[in-house]
Structure 1
């Protein structure tokens, strides 16, 4: 019994010494520990970005997305917004609305024509004063109402320009025949100036929108 215990202890001691002596030699044969992100598939550059994205999202909820994921979309959004801003800011309008000068011009013609008809009983005052003055005031008023609704008032601007052109021609002919500065020369100059003004409004892109306060005069 004692001999068997002694023999067992000797065998166990030899076994332990044998394992301890073999273990350092077998250590280099064991496969090295490779982390998941050092694996060949994940060492691919295409998987690095997923690592950078998923790990922070798992660790921290509110984390910024890496730049490579938002660079393209952010650049596109910046380009589109800049294009919209440039389109909005580069569009030009007339600095003075057509009705700002059209209504006073038509009112002057109407009042002076009415006075001339009452005082001199001249039908010319009705044809070249009252009727075109009233038409210009009406077109200017409708142009203002349409402009406030953010609709196109080009037809009303064109109508005022046609009346002013007709009056400029008639007043110029009267001034050439009579050589009188008042009233024909003055009205001819004023109507010609209004024709130039309406042309300026049309060529400048029309009236500025109601919301564009910087362009409104």
Structure 2
């Protein structure tokens, strides 16, 4: 599986969560954090997709995805440990730890595997 297959939906979920938090609670921190990181991840996923279409790997995008997911794991994990609220801290921390592991795996295995040309 390629990183952009999960990164773009992950980013969109974060954007949606940030916007939802803003409209439901008026939380500008939710809007800035969720939508900001979500936009960054969606952009990184798009860059990775475009590189894949050119039959190349985009390691800068993969590293950015890893850093964002690890940062969200840390921040939302800390928030969960202080509040024990499943939504949104526990869910975002859980998804982010899985995504961080996926990105580390992709880095360790050489990024997106480019299919060989068929004759």
TM-score where L is the length of structure 2 = 0.93
CA distance in 2, matches of 1:179, 1:120: 19
Q: Higher helix fraction: Structure 1 or Structure 2?
A: 2
Match of 1:209 among 111, 114, 118: 114
| Cα offsets for 1:143-193 (capped at 9, x unmatched) | 100111122301101001111111111101110111111211111111111
CA distance in 2, matches of 1:212, 1:178: 52
Corresponding residue of 2:64: 159
Larger Rg: 1
Map 1:25-40 to 2 at 5 A.
Answer: none
Tell me the SS of whatever aligns to 1:208. Answer: coil
Match of 1:118 among 10, 17, 23: 23
| Contact 1:147-1:210 at 8 Å conserved across structures | no
| Cα offsets for 1:41-62 (capped at 9, x unmatched) | xxxxxxxxxxxxxxxxxxxxxx
Corresponding residue of 1:200: 105
CA distance in 1, matches of 2:108, 2:13: 26
Tell me the SS of whatever aligns to 1:133. Answer: helix
Q: Report the Cα offset of residue 127 of structure 1.
A: 3.0
Is 2:15 the counterpart of 1:97? no
Q: CA RMSD in A?
A: 1.5
| 1:146 to 1:165, Cα distance in 2 relative to 1, 3 A | same
TM-score where L is the length of structure 1 = 0.52
CA distance in 1, matches of 2:117, 2:9: 23
CA distance in 2, matches of 1:106, 1:192: 14
Map 1:169-184 to 2 at 5 A.
Answer: 169-184=74-89
